[in-house]
Structure 1
Amino acid sequence: MNWKARLLALDGLMPSIGDDGRLVWGTLADAAEDAELVFLGLDYSESESGKACFAAVPPKGDASPRMANPQLWSLMSTLQPSDLAAYGGARSIVDWHARHRFCAQCGGPTEIAKGGWQRNCTACGASHFPRTDPVTIMLVEYDGKLMLGRGLGWPEGAFSALAGFVEPGESIEEGVVREVLEESGVKVRDVSYVASQPWPFPSQLMIGCHAYADDDALTIDETEMAEINWYTQEEVKASLAGDGPFRAPPPHAIAHHLMHWWIHR
């Protein structure tokens, strides 16, 4: 029944793109004989009728910084939303498998289970599950201006919303307050939720928020940030259109949508 199943074509963790600009799908016959296959789900799109979709676990995962692969960022910007979602989910799960072939409890080898949504240790029997790390990404506003920053190692002129991992024991609101204070020295209040986005670098949930600052005096953490500036609504709007004082995040990033939300709310 292999003809009813599809295998996502990957080069390591890179997507394969066809002449039509869509993800390339093959059949299970394309998988290596000893490949670990992850069940991604059933495709009930207009052109399909419940075909099972799989992806093969690559030999190794990706521990490089998310900005280290400009080719991948360029490819992602060309994908349709449905393909971007499919690739993002597949990348996250197969990367997790590639980096968790050994048990964190005893060091023994693990094997794939439950269609790829679990790994079991063959030595101590411990079960391991894919993780998603919560990350707050926040628009900070003061007197009609927006705080945006450029991280260390980012291209010149590229600015985005500040972001950081939610630490154990923190609420989302507390994570926003702490991260903004650490990176910019600015105290914020009235934190509200806007939107979220899964982010496969390697497997995060970006939690988009908005907050107000009590002042605009900056004390930049130079171990994390190269620059932080305040921008007017007109400057943000012009940058999103490609003709402003900074390079805006790409359209597939939640920061891009948060900026549009801020302008049009």
Structure 2
Amino acid sequence: MHTIVVFGASGQLGQCLQKLAREQNLEQINFLSSQQANILDVDTLQKVFAEYKPAYCINCAAYTAVDKAEDEAEQAMKLNRDGVSNLSRLCREQDATLIHISTDFVFSGSHHLPLTESEDTLPINVYGESKLAGEKAVVALTQKHFIIRTSWLYSEYGNNFVKTMLRLGKEREQLKVIWDQVGSPTYAMDLATCILSIIKSKTSQYGLYHYSNEGVASWYDFAQAIFELSRMAVKVTPVRSAEYLTKARRPAYSVMDKSKIKRTLGIAIPYWKHSLQTCINRLYISTDDK
């Protein structure tokens, strides 16, 4: 494999990539946290490129606090647009391929059929706007790129919906969870596997792709599955979004069509409940080890 640099390596996806690299003995992958290589710091980025001379850069660095972004629009735009611009320029100058992670939040949520890559984008919150701006920067600044939109990311690492539900399930007998927001949960380990598969294939079919696990769920469905698969006796009550107001609006429907990535890049995608079971099993194993 070619030399690879992962930016934002301390996040969920970055840690999943690190786990896969260890399991597969991939010594060519270099992992840099945002503290080691802030994508807003051009001087540091230039030093990273000079030292590693990467053939591929995987950008996992992002401002992801959806509600806080409503009050911190400038910070969100800086990281998700300007930082991505910095990486894109350097990738073009150094002839490196950029793999950039984006989100289903670039869509309005007003659709009722799975969204293709050619569907019109219309973000309804600052986070979505900043991520769409990052996508546009990649397209404008470097030709050798893969933009991968994903959704509802979870894993054994970091803070995410699965770990929050498991924690709350131990503290409470009843929970209220939104049922009128529909999407596709994505196991970050599956996404990491997809990214490494793209690199290993050496494909030059650059462009925008959708990747989430197969299937459709509401947050209520997702929570129910978490408790069923982990055998926790928690009563989950479905509620409307209007009963659980948040600073930022969320898309009501953001199920993405994955036909392109399967057809063009030959990527196999697991069903969301199967991957959820894998993650829960691993979480319990790691807890038992402690």
Answer yes or no: same fold by TM over 0.5: no
**Higher RCO (CA < 8 A, seq sep 6+):** 2
Q: 1 or 2, which has the higher helix percentage?
A: 2
Q: 1 or 2, which has the higher strand percentage?
A: 1
TM-score, scaled to structure 1: 0.28
TM-score, scaled to structure 2: 0.26
- Structure number with larger C-alpha Rg: 1
